[in-house]
Amino acid sequence: MNQQFDFDAACVKYAGKWNVLAPVHPKDFIMDFLLNHQSFTKSPEAAIEFYFRSGHESSEMFQAVVDKDLELNGSQSVLEFASGYGCVTRHLLKARRFRLTACDIHQEANDFNATKLEATAMESCAVPEKFDAAGTRYDLVFALSFFSHMPKATWTRWLQALFNVVKPGGYLLFTTHGPTSLRKVFSAARNVSLDDEGFYFNADSEQKDLETSQYGTTITDNRFVIEQLSKLPKNCELRLLRAGIWWGHQDLYVLAALPSSQ
């Protein structure tokens, strides 16, 4: 990150606004995307403010869903899957209400989250069937904008893998590019249309160090997602669907892992 301003000072400024830790990794792909986005090229400080504000808002929304919609008491164990370099992690840690584990495929991200953000961190993997969260199950598994990048070959397999690490009585929360995203975000793009199953994938994303055929840009409509739920274990129940709620366009799904007696 080669800005002609004091990047670290700006991070400290906006981290202080939300009372979170300030360090940002040089390879943080979200920060890099924002700094190079046409909306912020003339004001890198505005990009930094947006980075910290967006992380705060996602943390608040996650907590609001947990508090208002889910039947959980006490301190919950949370797996933040595909956590990246801690954009949301630092804000979830500030809440001090979760036993949080950040999990990412980038070992550098996990090392950074552990050493600089003081998070418990775990490495993910490229093959869904090999992911078992080190044998641990969680009250809450949270995958923010992960399924908005998966190709059809691994989309459902990752859904199954993440649901498998939810405790009975717990929940999987994830977001997708849905119909609102298609209308608001991708309407100007050419050749963007869903296939007969309600799925679209383009081998391109803001994260340039991953193979784009495995991590690109995905749009799914509700019928595709709900069809995939039928492939999960019988104790899976769709508890909540809120269209266009995250960032004003991504859909939120909440799946309950029902206890075996139900």
The strand pairing partners of 256, in sequence order, are 171, 237
9: in domain: no
- Domain with residue 78: its CATH number is 3.40.50.150
26: in domain: no
Residue 229 CA to residue 225 CA, distance in Å, equals 7
**How many residues belong to the chain?**
262
Residue 109 CA to residue 20 CA, distance in Å, equals 17
Q: Are 205 and 224 in contact (CB under 8 A)?
A: no
pLDDT for the residue numbered 73: 76
40: in domain: no
pLDDT for the residue numbered 4: 62
Q: Output the six-digit token pair for 29.
A: 């792909």
- Containing structural domain, residue 166: 55-257
pTM of the full structure: 0.95
pLDDT tens sequence across 172-214: 999 999 999 999 999 888 789 999 999 999 988 777 678 878 8
Residue 168 CA to residue 158 CA, distance in Å, equals 18
148: in domain: yes
34: in domain: no
pLDDT for the residue numbered 209: 76
Total domains, the chain: 1
Beta strands in 40-165 (DSSP E): 76-81, 98-104, 120-123, 138-143
140: in domain: yes
User: In a structure prediction context, what are the per-residue pLDDT tens digits for the chain, which is 262 residues long?
Assistant: 444 689 999 999 999 999 999 999 999 999 999 999 988 988 999 999 999 999 999 999 999 999 999 978 778 999 999 999 999 999 999 999 999 999 999 999 999 999 999 999 999 999 999 999 999 999 999 999 999 999 999 999 999 999 999 999 999 999 999 999 999 999 888 789 999 999 999 988 777 678 878 899 999 999 999 999 999 999 999 999 999 999 999 999 999 999 975 5
Tell me the pairing of strands 138-143 and 76-81. Answer: parallel
pLDDT for the residue numbered 3: 47
pLDDT for the residue numbered 1: 46
Q: Output the six-digit token pair for 170.
A: 């717990």
Residue 217 CA to residue 200 CA, distance in Å, equals 8
pLDDT for the residue numbered 261: 53
The strand pairing partners of 103, in sequence order, are 81, 122
The amino acid sitting at 157 is R
The strand pairing partners of 255, in sequence order, are 172, 238
pLDDT for the residue numbered 262: 52
Q: Output the six-digit token pair for 101.
A: 């584990």
1: in domain: no
Residue 177 CA to residue 243 CA, distance in Å, equals 10
47: in domain: no
Question: Between the CA of residue 223 and those of 117, 178, 182, 219, what are the distances in Å?
Answer: 38, 10, 15, 12
